[in-house]
A and B are shown apart, each in its own frame.
Chain A
Amino acid sequence: MNEDMTKRPIRRRGLLGTAASASFLAAAGRLPGFGVGRAEAAAAERGGQVLVTFQSDVATLDPAIGYDWQNWSMIKSLFNGLMGYKPGTTELIPDLAESFTVSADGKVYTFKLRSGVKFHNGRTLTAEDVRYSIARTIDPATESPGQTFFSAIEGYDQASAGKGPLTGVRAVDPMTVEVRLADLDAAILHKLALNFAFAVPKEAVVQYGKDFGKHPVGTGAFFLKEWALGQHIIFTRNADYFTPGQPLLDGITFQLGQDPTVALLRFQRGEVDLLGDGIPPAQFVSVMNNPRWRKDVVVGTQLETSYITLNTRVKPLDDVRVRQAVNMAIDKERIVRIINNRAVVANQPLPPAMPGYDPNYKGYPYDPAGAKKLLAEAGVGSGFPTALYCMNVDPNPRIAQAIQQDLANIGIKADVRSLAQATVIAAGGTEGEAAMVWSGGMGWIDDFPDPSDFYYPILGCGGAVKGGWNWSWYCNPKMETMAKAADALVKPSEAAQRIDMWRKIFVDLMGDAPWVPVFNEKRYTVHQPSVKAPDESIFIDPINIPVNYNMIYKTNA
């Protein structure tokens, strides 16, 4: 019943829309030429309803809890934080905040709120809401996976343990929020732009309790109109949205539980506007070779790196020459071909779109002969046995086999251990356990576009603990000092200098070769030609996957 009511108007809207636009054009044609083109363009550059398909049900739309790539950008269209990003870029901009100041010691951030921001329930947002929302994420009762991001805030330790208030966030007056840090954190603005810091109205959270995630109320560009569990979710344009001119769409329907192969057939028949799950791997080659469909695919990069960790605490990988030799032994081009060229070869931990990426760094060359020489210098010229862990989901075992062959070429006999994801993660996080891990399927995708997110958890000493993600167990005091120095540059005016320092850190640490960076996955966003955006970059927005829903519209053509 519900489905009928929701689905049919959308299908019909296509027809009605075409008729309407035809008569509009006919009318325009009769008018004198002056100004018509502009009026027509303006009329076409917003509006429409789009249909997006996903295979999985949406887990939750609670910003304190939602943490998968599917709900991440949906939540961004329902809620806002103090900070946000300029659409299509990784550039931070104030969002709920109008402006902010940073104290001289870099520990106090004061945000002035925009006036007249309203929640979907009609109530005006105040500084208290911002404070409440951040404290809610940190409160252990919320069971948020994003707690730890805010550990630099004063009072975090007691608040995250449920033993006291979060003293570091304060509503100075209804329009002013103050965030006080116990420790310097140069990435705090990025963290305040995370979904986990988005503003929620306390009364709605109290009303819906643990089910708030199914009844989200925010300040965002859209509001939730309807959610039929397992079937569809409908977003409708928030006419009171505070950012002028946004959103461009009138509404979005997310159809859930759609098999990606079937969704592609529906897309090819014009029933679906945007494939939420992208092109299914089995159909990838045929779609990309078909000129009719190829032009609907926008290719971009992801803030992701797939790599092999080389355990610096396992013999003989504890010798830097051996790790360098492994770096020179891997034929990355061939690995990229295994996944149908859906990636670009990487030579450093940071992906190319991440601030701090060094385009001049050349990395280790593919040079098996040179690698053998290095092994001989390290005293293991006849090779050695070792183990390579990988996740047991295609294509990762195939990639691990390619790595195994490359290693065999220089005499290293790697035993491939293809295991369940959780088992690999556990092995990586146990000291002295996994000599090498292929990160595919578990690779590091950014939480926020800042280079520090690629250092501390996966290459820093703090991540080299039991259950951590630093599977190389790399811990270099020199790098720690440099990282600390870079992150002491917290003033906005020092941002460029800080990024330069991070660039040097990542290039320097490649000298120690704790990883073999293998590739950066590409992103393929598939949309109907009628779905448009002011700029193509919106379709490969680094912050929103698959797309920034606030910035697309649909024409009737």
Chain B
Amino acid sequence: MLRFLARRLAQSVLVILGVTLVTFLISFAVPADPARMIAGRSASAAEVASVRHQLGLDRPLPVQYLRYLGHLVRGDLGRSYVQRIDVSTVVESRLPATLELMAGAIFFELLLGLPAGAFSAARRGTRADKGTMVLSFIGVSAPQFVVGLLLLYVFGYLLDLFPLGGYGGLANLFLPALTLGIAGGGWYARQSRSSMVDALRQDYVRTARAKGAGEWRVVLLHAGRNAVLPVIAMIGLDIGNFMQGVVVVEAVYGWPGIGQLAWQAIQQLDIPVIMGVTIVAAVAIVLGNLLADIITGALDPRIRVR
């Protein structure tokens, strides 16, 4: 197990290093001139050049990249061109909101996905099964900004049950978490259905049935217990999915997390912030995958050997 962990960790570091290199190179392909942004539109070419020198942007690319890595190791993500504040300060102040949103989303996707999957598996082949799977497919594939605006309009504006966006208590959290949870829930429904169908084929289920256990008892207790563990391990992978989802959902609901930060930074071409958020997201995804590996490895020793 330790060797397995060490190997995974080493791979993770390589992945993150790769992400820094790619984001760094992309930031040079983006048609934004930070020096011009800082110097203002009326600045002369000489003034822009002097700002460029001050930022170190006139040095060779490899030198700039190494300098960037050096700062990164010390936890320095650079300074925002637009906000003129340390990127780490901005990211830090926004991370709690995103974590809160993710927790809410995990709650909803499990709440929606697991029962739907179990129900479908128990009713395999029936219209109810097909109906549930079609619904889950819609949930997975519906664009989140549409789902978000729709929920907001119906439950927030027309029915007046929830606040129209913004950050605060559980009432504010409900709709954005649900929007993220609907997509994840559809995914979970499909996964838990197949893992449940698998479990229902096992010998111990036949044994339970033979003992005369009721159908729901068989599905929920005997098969469910075994089917749910691999599904839980997916939560780690979810973090990656969320990182895409939060950008859209946070923008729609005015949720002050790092997704909204990324959205704004992209619109303003604030490269240090875009890079900072990308790296934080990459680290989160890598950690999530690591977590998933550890859980599955712990559950199934066969995986560790591979």
A259 with B47, Cβ < 8 A, contacts A56-B268, A422-B33 known: no
How many residues of chain A have a CB within 8 Å of chain B? 51
- Is B152 touching A265 in the complex (CB atoms < 8 A)? yes
- Any chain A CB within 8 A of the CB of B32? yes
A419-450 interface bits toward B, Cβ cutoff 8 Å, 1 = contact, 0 = none: 01111001000000000000000000001000
Contact with B along A107-150 (1 / 0, CB 8 A): 00000000000000000000000000000000010011111110
The verdict on A3 contacting B167 (CB below 8 Å), with A60-B84, A422-B31 known, is yes
A57 touching B48, Cβ below 8 Å: no
Q: Is the CB of A467 within 8 A of B45?
A: yes
Interface residue A229 (Cβ < 8 Å from any Cβ of B)? yes
Q: Does A337 contact B (CB under 8 A)?
A: no
Chain B, 21-49, CB within 8 A of any chain A CB: 31-33, 36-45, 47-48
In the complex, chain A residues 360-406 whose Cβ is within 8 Å of any chain B Cβ:
none
Question: CB of B260 within 8 A of chain A?
Answer: yes
Q: Is B157 a contact partner of A265 (Cβ separation < 8 A)? A: yes
Question: Do the beta carbons of B31 and A145 come within 8 Å of each other?
Answer: no
Is A231's CB within 8 Å of the partner chain B?
A: yes
Shortest Cβ gap from A448 to chain B (Å): 11
Residue B126 is within 8 A (CB to CB) of chain A in the complex: no
* Cross-chain contact A62 with B43 (CB below 8 angstroms): no
B111 within 8 A of A: no
**Least CB distance, A158 to chain B, in whole angstroms:** 13
Interface string of B143-162 (1 = CB under 8 A from A): 00000010011001100100
Q: Is the beta-carbon distance between A230 and B261 smaller than 8 angstroms?
A: yes
Q: Is A252 an interface residue (CB 8 A)?
A: no
Q: Bound state CA distance, A148 and B267, in angstroms?
A: 26
A255 touches B (CB below 8 Å):
yes
Asked if A15 is at the interface (CB within 8 A of a chain B CB), the reply is no
Give min CB distance, B133 to chain A, whole Å: 32
The residue from A7, A229, A423 contacting B94, defined by CB atoms under 8 A apart: A229
Chain A, residue nearest B152 (CB): A262
* A145 in contact with B261 (CB, 8 Å): no
In the complex, besides A213-B85, A257-B250, 15 extra interface pairs with C-beta distance below 8 angstroms are A7-B168, A59-B83, A140-B50, A143-B39, A143-B51, A148-B44, A160-B47, A229-B90, A230-B93, A230-B261, A259-B165, A262-B164, A265-B152, A271-B164, A467-B36
Determine if B40 and A146 form an interchain contact, defined as CB atoms under 8 angstroms apart: yes
Interface residue? A65 (CB, 8 A)? yes
CA distance A231 to B96 in the complex (A): 13
Min Cβ gap B44→A in Å is 7
A246 at the interface (CB under 8 A from B): no
Known contacts A60-B83, A147-B40; A230 and B260 CB within 8 A of each other: yes
Instruction: Provide 30 A-B residue pairs closer than 8 Å at the C-beta atoms, listed in order of the A residue.
Output: A56-B264, A57-B264, A59-B83, A60-B84, A143-B39, A143-B51, A143-B54, A145-B38, A146-B40, A146-B42, A147-B39, A147-B40, A148-B40, A148-B42, A214-B85, A229-B93, A231-B167, A257-B251, A257-B254, A257-B264, A262-B149, A266-B164, A266-B165, A269-B157, A269-B160, A269-B164, A420-B31, A423-B31, A457-B42, A467-B36
